[in-house]
C-alpha cells in the first residue's frame, strides 16, 4: 500500500526526518508513536503529499510518487488526512462531511447515500444541521474524522486524533476509529504520543524519536522488547539498569548489575556491556522468598510507596532502584511500607537485555 | 462667514430638492468608481489567492511593491495613464483620453494594488490548517482558493470597500485623464474643485456633503464587516 524509502526532510537547517524507511500493508492499522516534536506530523504531511520531502522516495500502491505535477492530486484524492487541530468549515455538519465528495463532483444523491450512514456511525445525526463552528472539540474531531472517511480513502491518516480531548471524548473517538477500521477495513496510519492508545489500537507500531524511526514492529514486541534505551524510555520501561554479562549457559545469561546478579534470557556474550530492562508489571513483591517459577529473587528495602497510582507503585532498593507495580489489594494485604525489607521476584524471560553503547 | 453660511444652506437646498446637476454628478461619480472597484477586484482578489497559495521566487518582493503602491499619489497614476493614452501615447489610437472609460481604467489601476495587498493580508490571516484540510480532502487549486476566500470573506470585502473609498474620493487622476468635462467626465471631486475655485460655494458644499455621506456609509459598512471578520 505505502512504502517509504530513505525519506529525509529539513525545516530550515534543522533536519526533522532522517532516513525513514517504512512499509504499511493494505488493511493495516499502523501506529506512529514518539514524543512531541519527533517528526510524526511532518511524516504524515509528506505521506499525504502536502509537503515534498528533501530526499527519499515514496511508493503508493506500488507506483512511485512524482515530486510535482497533477498526478499528486490524483494520489492525494485516494487518501484523507485528519489534522491534529481539526478545523471545520463555516457550514453545517452535513455540508462539512460532504465537502470532499463535492470536490470530487459526486451527485447529490450519491453524497447523501454516503453522508447519512456516516452521521449514524459517528453519532452526529442529531447535529446534522448545526453549524459545525458551534461544536465542542470532541464533536468537531468527530466531524473531521467523518469528513475524511466520507471520501472512502484507501489510506486514512490520523494525526493525534485525541490530543487535547477530555477522557470521555477520547474514549469515544477511539471507539469510533476502531469501528471505522472494522467496518471499512481502511488502511490507517495514526500518530499518538499516548502509548497506551497506540498499544490498544494499532497492530504494528513505529517509534519516531528525533526524526528517526528507531524501532518498528508488532505493538507487543515494541513494548516488551525495545531495541535501545531511547525506545525503552519512551515506551515506559522504568527499570533500566546498567550491567555486564558475567557468564552464560545456553540462552541464559547471568548479568552483574553493580554487584547484584540476575539471570536473563539473552544472547549477548560474556563481558558485554548491557542494560537490563525490567518492566515494573513483571516484578512481584513478597515478604518471604517466593516459591513461584521466577528465577530471580532479590532482597531489598522499600523506599517509597505511591498509593495514588493505579496500580500502586512501589520503589525498592535492591542494590539498584527497582519499581514494581502492585495492586492496591495485595499492597494492603502485605502491609508494605517504606523501610520494610521485601523480596522482589521476576522471571528470566521478564528481563530484556539491550546493548549499552560505550 | 455670511457667505459660508449662505453656501451651506443653499447647498442643503440643492440636496433636498434633488437638483438635477448635483444628482447627475454624484451618479456619475458612483458609477465610475463602482465600475473601477469591480474591475480591480475581479483581477486583484483572484490574483491575491494565486500569490498567497503559491511559493515562487520574488513573492516577498511583489508583496512589498504592492504595499508601497498603497500610497502612490493619484496624480502619478494620472500622469502614467495620461502618457499612455494621450493622442501621442502608445495607446492614443484608442481615443480614450478624457472619457469616463479611461477614468474607470485609471481608478482601477490606482486601487488594484490596494485591494491586492489587503486581500493578500486577509488571506494570510486564515489559519494554514484550512488550506491543509482542504488539500487533504482532495481539493484542487481553485477549490482551495474558494475555501480560503470563503473563510476570509469579510476581510476581503473590507479590502474592496477600502478600494472603493480611495477611488471615489480621489481628484488628481479624475481631472488629469477625465478633463472635468461638464455632463461627461465631471465627478463629485472635480466639480467641488472647480466650483470652489469659481467661488460657487453652494454647489461645492452640496457635493461635499454627498461625498461625506458616501464616506460615512463606507466607514459604517467597513466597521460592520470588520466586526464580523
Question: pLDDT tens-digit profile of A20-51?
Answer: 999 999 999 999 998 888 999 999 999 999 99
CB spacing of A147 vs B137 below 8 angstroms: yes
Q: What is the pLDDT of residues A168-203, one digit of tens each?
A: 889 988 998 999 899 888 999 999 888 888 888 999
Q: Is B55 on the interface with A (CB under 8 A)?
A: no
CB contact under 8 A, B130 and A87: yes
Domain CATH number, residue B202: 1.10.3720.10
Q: What are the respective helix, strand and coil percentages of chain A, to the nearest 5? A: 30, 35, 35
> What ipTM, to 2 d.p.?
0.79
Using the structure block, give the residue that is written with the C-alpha cell 510524526. Answer: A40
Query: What residues make up the domain containing B188?
Result: 2-228
Residue A84 reports pLDDT greater than 70: yes
Query: Does residue A316 carry a pLDDT above 90?
Result: yes
B137·A99 Cβ contact <8 A: yes
Residue A240: CA count within 13 A, CB half-sphere: 18
Are A50 and B136 in contact (CB < 8 Å)? yes
Tell me, letter by letter, the H, E, C secondary structure of A18-77.
EEEEEEECCCCEEEEECCCCCCHHHHHHHHCCCCCCCEEEEEECCEECCCCCCHHHHHHC
Distance CA B184, CA B180 (A): 8
Bridge partners of A355, per DSSP, are: A274
Residue A336's pLDDT is 84
- Distance, in Å, from the CA atom of A54 to the CA atom of B94, rounded to the nearest integer, reads 52
Choose the closest CB to A73 out of B127, B129, B140. Answer: B140
User: Which helix (DSSP H) or strand (DSSP E) does residue A84 occupy?
Assistant: none
Q: Cell for A10?
A: 529539513
Closest CA to A81 of A42, A34, A24: A42
Please report the pLDDT score of residue B166 as a whole number. Answer: 94
Sheet holding A29-33: strands in order across? A79-82, A155-159, A187-192, A29-33, A204-209, A212-218
**Would you call A161 an interface residue with chain B, using a CB distance cutoff of 8 Å?**
no
Q: What is the mean pLDDT of each run of 10 residues along chain B (229 residues)?
A: 81 87 92 97 96 93 94 94 93 93 96 97 93 93 92 92 94 93 94 91 88 89 79
Q: Is A68 on the interface with B (CB under 8 A)?
A: no
Cβ–Cβ of A151/B138 closer than 8 Å? yes
Nearest to B136 among A81, A90, A104 (CB): A81
Please give the pLDDT value at position A357.
85
**pLDDT for A219-251, tens place per residue?**
888 888 888 888 888 888 889 999 999 998 888
Q: How many domains does chain B have?
A: 1
Contacts of A157 in chain B (CB under 8 A): 136
A residues 182-201 closer than 8 Å to B (CB): none
Report the pLDDT value the prediction gives residue B184, as an integer from 0 to 100.
Answer: 94
In angstroms, rounded to a whole number, what is the distance separating the alpha carbons of residues A291 and A345? 10
- DSSP-derived letter for residue A269 is P
Q: Are A176 and A102 in contact (CB under 8 A)?
A: no
Interface contact flag, B138 A100, Cβ < 8 Å: yes
User: What burial letters (b/e) apply to A37-58, b meaning 16+ CB within 10 Å?
Assistant: ebbbbbbbbbbbbbeebeebeb
pLDDT by residue (tens digit) across A93-143?
999 999 999 999 999 999 999 999 999 988 899 999 999 999 998 899 999
pTM: 0.80
Amino acid at each position: 500500500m505505502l512504502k517509504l524509502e530513505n525519506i529525509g526532510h529539513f525545516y530550515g537547517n534543522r533536519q526533522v526526518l532522517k532516513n525513514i524507511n517504512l512499509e504499511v500493508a493494505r488493511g493495516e492499522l499502523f501506529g506512529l508513536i514518539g514524543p512531541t516534536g519527533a517528526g510524526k506530523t511532518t511524516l504524515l504531511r509528506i505521506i499525504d503529499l502536502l509537503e515534498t520531502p528533501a530526499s527519499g522516495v515514496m511508493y503508493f500502491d506500488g507506483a512511485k510518487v512524482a515530486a510535482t505535477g497533477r498526478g499528486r492530486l490524483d494520489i492525494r484524492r485516494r487518501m484523507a488526512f485528519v489534522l491534529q487541530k481539526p478545523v471545520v468549515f463555516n457550514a453545517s455538519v452535513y455540508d462539512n462531511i460532504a465537502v470532499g465528495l463535492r470536490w470530487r463532483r459526486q451527485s447529490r444523491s450519491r453524497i447523501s447515500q454516503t453522508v447519512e450512514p456516516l452521521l449514524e456511525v459517528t453519532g452526529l445525526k442529531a447535529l446534522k444541521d448545526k453549524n459545525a463552528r458551534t461544536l465542542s472539540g470532541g464533536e468537531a474531531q468527530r466531524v473531521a474524522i467523518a469528513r475524511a472517511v466520507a471520501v472512502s480513502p484507501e489510506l486514512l491518516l490520523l494525526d493525534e486524533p485525541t490530543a487535547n480531548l477530555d477522557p470521555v471524548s477520547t474514549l469515544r473517538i477511539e471507539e469510533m476509529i476502531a469501528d471505522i477500521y472494522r467496518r471499512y477495513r481502511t488502511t490507517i496510519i495514526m500518530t499518538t504520543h499516548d502509548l497506551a492508545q497506540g498499544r490498544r489500537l494499532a497492530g504494528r507500531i513505529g517509534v519516531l524519536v528525533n526524526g528517526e524511526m528507531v524501532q518498528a514492529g508488532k505493538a507487543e514486541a515494541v513494548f516488551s522488547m525495545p531495541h535501545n534505551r531511547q525506545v525503552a524510555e519512551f515506551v515506559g520501561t522504568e527499570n533500566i539498569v546498567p550491567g555486564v554479562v558475567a557468564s552464560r549457559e545456553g540462552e541464559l545469561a547471568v548479568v552483574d548489575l553493580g554487584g547484584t546478579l540476575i539471570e536473563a534470557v539473552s544472547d549477548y556474550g560474556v563481558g558485554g556491556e548491557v542494560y537490563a530492562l525490567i518492566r515494573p508489571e513483571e516484578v512481584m513483591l513478597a515478604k518471604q522468598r517466593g516459591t513461584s517459577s521466577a528465577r530471580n529473587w532479590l532482597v531489598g528495602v522499600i523506599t517509597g510507596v505511591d498509593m495514588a497510582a493505579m496500580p500502586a507503585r512501589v520503589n525498592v532498593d535492591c542494590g539498584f532502584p527497582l519499581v514494581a507495580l502492585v495492586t492496591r489489594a495485595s499492597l494492603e494485604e502485605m502491609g508494605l511500607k517504606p523501610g520494610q525489607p521485601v523480596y522482589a521476584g521476576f522471571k528470566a524471560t521478564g528481563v530484556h537485555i539491550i546493548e549499552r553503547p560505550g | 462667514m455670511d457667505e459660508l453660511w449662505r453656501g451651506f444652506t443653499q447647498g442643503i437646498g440643492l440636496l433636498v430638492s434633488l437638483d438635477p446637476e448635483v444628482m447627475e454628478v454624484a451618479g456619475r461619480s458612483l458609477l465610475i468608481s463602482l465600475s473601477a472597484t469591480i474591475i480591480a477586484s475581479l483581477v486583484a482578489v483572484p490574483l491575491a489567492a494565486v500569490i498567497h497559495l503559491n511559493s515562487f521566487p520574488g513573492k516577498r518582493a511583489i508583496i512589498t511593491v504592492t504595499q508601497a503602491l498603497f500610497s502612490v499619489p493619484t496624480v502619478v497614476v494620472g500622469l502614467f495613464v495620461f502618457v499612455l493614452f494621450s493622442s501621442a501615447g502608445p495607446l492614443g489610437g484608442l481615443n480614450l483620453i478624457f472619457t469616463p472609460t479611461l477614468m474607470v481604467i485609471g481608478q482601477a489601476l490606482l486601487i488594484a494594488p490596494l485591494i491586492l495587498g489587503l486581500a493578500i493580508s486577509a488571506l494570510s490571516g486564515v489559519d494554514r490548517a484550512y488550506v491543509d484540510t482542504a488539500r487533504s480532502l482532495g481539493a484542487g487549486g481553485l477549490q482551495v482558493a474558494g475555501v480560503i476566500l470563503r473563510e476570509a470573506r469579510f476581510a476581503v470585502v473590507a479590502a474592496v470597500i477600502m478600494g472603493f473609498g480611495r477611488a471615489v474620493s480621489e481628484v488628481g487622476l479624475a481631472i488629469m485623464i477625465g478633463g472635468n468635462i461638464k455632463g461627461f467626465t465631471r465627478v463629485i471631486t472635480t466639480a467641488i474643485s472647480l466650483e470652489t475655485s469659481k467661488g460657487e460655494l453652494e454647489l461645492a458644499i452640496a457635493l461635499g456633503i454627498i461625498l461625506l455621506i458616501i464616506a460615512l456609509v463606507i466607514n459604517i459598512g467597513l466597521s460592520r464587516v470588520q466586526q464580523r471578520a
